[in-house]
């Protein structure tokens, strides 16, 4: 490796890393991005939906040019019990308007495209090198260590993902608790575009985002997701580790349970498995954000815990991109002043607070606790919904009893007081 | 009883560069008191790499690892002797992601 000192080293070629490298290189800084896989994106997986507001501002024309899959114009949330599915299905021309549009994506493909953009802007991309340690002198991060090689920079940006060992090694974040982390398991299933459009009632190029809660995760906090891509479907489950390990169904078995549910199976019938992937998801929200800034170092993206799971929508990629932009701006400013201390880099946090990243994380701060403390969401409420639907729609010729009376035993199973409290708590956290 | 899923069949479609010379995850010698911990990995590993066989012995193979870190979070300080990312270029390679 070169003896020269870089302005910035970015560790990790995901969304946050490539965008940070792109912006800093564009501003004329000497930047190197180091990726441990064979190419940026090769270690990355995502559920599959990107809200493009943050990236479109950084790369105008992104939506037209980037390798995106389908524009999401249909949102579904479905509660599952073993034998039923009760859902919300929202289709609107209000979805997908420019500026608030979102797309299904395959992140390995997208990250390579972004890395190419960074390279065109002048960033150097080194793939196939794993950074095991950081150079730390008198509490200041001065670069990275890979094997016998050392590479120095004024600032090192840690974009090494949710499982950022580097941030942990230098004491910027504590070890995770199993209640703060979920595991995601996904199958990418190939289907012809015409079949996808027929099964999901979508127009050419448009797609569906669908979330599931209930029986597949067997009582564990978590749920399923499905995103339609151009010629494939991303289908997976996410389950919180603390509850997953108390149960009796493994993460791969949860995915199988989702796949064979009668509301899901017809959607993927005759599909062919293209890829099987797994990843952790940091679900602790605002309260698990690590130390973001140190002398000569910043943490961005998943590694910074920038992820929001609200049950009906999951966000991470747009936060990763926006955090990378804030970090890049901070480094550019610090370079102008020649001061890379934590105080100088603190503008990173200011920018995060002024923008939507920390505002949104704060707004939904209480939601992870709501999910933790309301296990009924994943079990009893889907059953209540299914039982209520049964009372409404199953007609068998027996004399009818009024719906309010028919539903009462189902409600009483949970307790009306509990239900009211949960609704208040839920609304209070959103 | 835990329901069995043939995850190997799914992993077979993935692209791996297995580092034959260096196991990036090492399980320590397990005693009877460690089986509860091992069972959590059996449940949580998306690749199904931790397996308790009917005769009570355990099986673990780092080839096929999706590098998610779940086992490190659950058992990094208990029954895992080592957890590192694979060396550069090695391990899973997502073509789609």
The pLDDT assigned to A3 comes to: 56
- Looking at beta carbons, which residues of chain B come within 8 Å of A176? 73
CA distance B86 to B22: 8
- B39 CB neighbours in chain A (<8 A) are 245
Number of structural domains in chain B: 1
> What integer pLDDT is reported at residue A2 of this predicted model?
46
Please identify among residues 64-83 of chain B the ones whose CB lies closer than 8 Å to any CB of chain A: 66-70, 72-74, 76-77
- The size of the A-B interface in CB pairs under 8 A is 145
Task: Return all residues near A72 (Cβ < 8 A) that are at least 6 apart.
Answer: A49, A95, A96, A101, A102, A103, A104, A206, A207, A208, A209, A227
CB contacts, 8 Å: A279 with chain B: 66, 68
B81: in domain: yes
Residue B1 located in a structural domain: no
Strand ranges, E, within B1-97: 15-17, 25-27, 50-52, 58-60, 80-83, 91-93
Q: What is the pLDDT of residue A96?
A: 86
Is the domain covering A6-69+105-174+290-363 a CATH 3.50.50.60 domain?
yes
Cα Rg of chain A (Å, integer): 23
Segments of chain B with pLDDT less than 50:
none
**Cα pseudo-dihedral A46, A52, A58, A62, rounded to 10:** 90
Name the residue facing A250 among B17, B43, B89 (closest C-beta): B43
With respect to residue B82, please indicate whether it lies within any of the assigned structural domains.
yes
**Are A42 and B94 inside 8 Å of each other by CB?**
yes
Residues paired with residue A225 on neighbouring β-strands, in sequence order: A211, A236
* CA dist., res. A284 & res. A365, Å (int): 9
In a domain, B19, yes or no: yes
d(CA A6, CA A85): 55
Phi and psi, residue A237, nearest 5°? -130, 155
**B44, A278: Cβ pair inside 8 Å?**
no
- pLDDT tens over chain A, length 430 residues: 445 799 999 999 999 999 999 999 999 999 999 999 999 999 999 999 999 999 999 999 999 999 999 999 999 999 999 999 999 999 988 888 888 999 999 999 999 999 999 999 999 999 999 999 999 999 999 999 999 999 999 999 999 999 999 999 999 999 999 999 999 999 999 999 999 999 999 998 999 999 999 999 999 999 999 999 999 999 999 999 999 999 999 999 999 999 999 999 999 999 999 999 999 999 999 999 999 999 999 999 999 999 998 888 889 999 999 999 999 999 999 999 999 999 999 999 999 999 999 999 999 999 999 998 999 999 999 999 999 999 999 999 988 889 889 999 999 999 999 999 999 999 988 8
Interface test with B, best of A11, A46, A245, A260 (most B CBs within 10 A): A245
* Separation of alpha carbons A116 and A13, rounded Å: 11
Domain that includes residue B43, residue range: 7-88
Domain ranges of chain A: 6-69+105-174+290-363, 179-282, 373-429
* Three-state DSSP class for residue B71: helix
Which residue in the block uniquely carries the two structure tokens 């890829």? Answer: A275
* A241 chain-B contacts, CB cut-off 8 A: 44, 70, 73-74
Residue A238 distance to chain B (closest CA, Å): 10
Instruction: Check residue A33 and give its pLDDT.
Output: 98
State the CATH number of the domain containing residue B48. Answer: 3.30.70.20
Looking at chain B, which residue has its C-alpha nearest residue A38? B89
Q: Do B91 and A37 touch (CB under 8 A)?
A: yes
What is the ipTM score, two decimals?
Answer: 0.97
Among chain A residues, CA nearest to B93: A42
Phi-psi region of A228 (alpha: psi -120 to 50; beta: other; left: phi over 0): beta
CATH, domain A179-282, list 3.30.559.10, 3.30.9.90, 3.50.50.60, 3.40.190.10: 3.30.9.90
Joined tokens for residue A26:
């564009």
- Cβ distance of B46 and A165 shorter than 8 Å: no
pLDDT of residue A343: 98
Q: Which of residues 18-57 of B touch A (CB under 8 A)?
A: 39-40, 42-48
CA distance A317 to A16: 8
> Closest Cα of chain A to B60: distance in Å?
16
């Amino acid at each position: 490796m070169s003896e020269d000192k870089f302005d910035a080293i970015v560790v990790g070629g995901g969304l946050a890393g490539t965008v940070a490298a792109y912006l800093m290189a564009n501003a004329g800084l000497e930047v190197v991005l180091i990726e441990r896989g064979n190419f940026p994106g090769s270690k990355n997986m995502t559920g599959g939906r990107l809200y493009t507001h943050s990236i479109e501002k950084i790369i105008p024309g992104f939506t037209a040019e980037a390798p995106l899959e389908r524009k999401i114009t249909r949102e579904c949330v479905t509660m599952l019990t073993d034998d039923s599915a009760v859902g919300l299905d929202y289709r609107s021309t209000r979805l997908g308007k420019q500026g608030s549009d979102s797309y299904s994506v395959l992140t390995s493909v997208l990250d390579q495209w972004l890395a190419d953009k960074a390279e065109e802007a002048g960033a150097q991309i080194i793939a196939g090198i794993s950074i095991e340690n950081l150079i730390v002198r008198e509490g200041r991060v001065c670069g990275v260590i890979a094997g016998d090689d050392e590479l120095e920079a004024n600032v090192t940006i840690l974009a090494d993902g949710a499982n950022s060992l580097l941030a942990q090694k230098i004491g910027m974040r504590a070890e995770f608790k199993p209640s703060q982390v979920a595991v995601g398991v996904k199958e990418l299933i190939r289907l012809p575009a015409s079949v996808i459009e027929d099964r999901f009632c979508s127009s050419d190029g448009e797609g569906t985002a669908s979330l599931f809660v209930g029986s597949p995760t067997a009582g564990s906090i978590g749920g399923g997701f499905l995103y339609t891509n151009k010629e494939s479907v991303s289908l997976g489950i996410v389950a919180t580790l603390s509850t997953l390990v108390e149960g009796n169904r493994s993460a791969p078995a949860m995915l199988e349970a989702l796949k064979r549910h009668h509301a899901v199976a017809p959607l993927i019938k005759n599909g062919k498995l293209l890829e099987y992937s797994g990843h952790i998801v940091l679900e602790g929200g605002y309260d698990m954000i690590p130390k973001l800034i140190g002398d000569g170092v910043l943490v961005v993206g998943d590694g910074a815990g920038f992820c929001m799971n609200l049950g009906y929508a999951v966000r991470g990629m747009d936060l990763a991109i926006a955090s990378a932009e804030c970090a890049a701006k901070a480094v550019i400013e610090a370079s102008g002043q020649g001061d890379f201390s934590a105080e100088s880099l603190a503008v990173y946090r200011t920018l995060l607070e002024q923008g939507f990243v920390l505002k949104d994380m704060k707004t939904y701060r209480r939601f992870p606790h709501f999910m933790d403390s309301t296990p009924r969401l994943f079990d009893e409420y889907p059953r209540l919904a299914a039982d209520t639907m049964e009372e409404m729609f199953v007609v068998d010729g027996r004399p009818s009893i009024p719906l309010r009376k028919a539903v009462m035993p189902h409600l009483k199973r949970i307790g009306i007081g509990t239900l009211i409290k949960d609704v208040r708590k839920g609304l209070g956290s959103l | 009883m835990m329901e069995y899923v043939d995850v190997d069949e799914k992993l077979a479609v993935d692209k791996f560069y297995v580092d034959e010379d260096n196991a990036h995850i090492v399980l320590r010698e397990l005693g009877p008191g460690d089986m509860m911990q091992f069972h959590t990995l059996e449940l949580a590993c998306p690749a199904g790499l931790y397996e308790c066989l009917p005769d009570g012995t355990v099986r673990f193979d780092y080839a096929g690892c999706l590098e998610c870190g779940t086992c490190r979070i659950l058992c990094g300080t208990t029954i895992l002797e080592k957890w590192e990312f694979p060396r550069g270029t090695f391990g899973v390679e997502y073509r789609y992601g």
